[in-house]
């Protein structure tokens, strides 16, 4: 019985380590990623051979954000891009 009490006292006296925070990613984070892709593309941060992968990722990201209602794609944006 004394051992049990000693173990309990030792357990109580040891400082508890804080639980590690679970990494999270919010819709705002994904919107920021899309904006970073736009900005870095405009500034020429990618090589020509990388642009297809960057563009594909950007399109998937925008489609996801649009599908969950985090953003709305302007309908005239595709027309403006085609005219440019």
Percentage of the residues of the chain whose pLDDT score is greater than 90: 57
Domain residue spans of the chain:
24-83
Strands (E) in the chain, as ranges, are: none
Q: What is the pTM of this model?
A: 0.61
| pLDDT value for 29 | 95
Please, what is the Cα angle at 40 between 50 and 30, to 5 degrees?
95
Helix (H, G, I), strand (E, B) or coil at 59: helix
In the DSSP assignment, the letter for residue 17 is: P
pLDDT 10s digits, 52-66: 999 999 999 999 999
Residue for token pair 């705002």: 28
- Mean pLDDT (the chain) is 81
- Classify the phi-psi angles of 56: left when phi > 0, otherwise alpha if psi is within -120 to 50, otherwise beta: alpha
List phi, psi (to 5°) of 2. -65, -40
**Distance (Å, rounded) from C-alpha 84 to C-alpha 74?**
16
């Amino acid at each position: 019985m004394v051992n049990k009490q000693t173990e309990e006292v030792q357990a109580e006296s040891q400082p508890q380590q804080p639980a590690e925070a679970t990494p999270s990613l919010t819709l705002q984070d994904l919107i920021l990623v899309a904006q970073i892709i736009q900005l870095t593309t405009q500034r020429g941060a990618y090589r020509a051979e990388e642009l297809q992968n960057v563009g594909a990722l950007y399109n998937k990201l925008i489609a996801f954000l649009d599908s969950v209602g985090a953003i709305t794609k302007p309908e005239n944006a595709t027309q403006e891009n085609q005219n440019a």
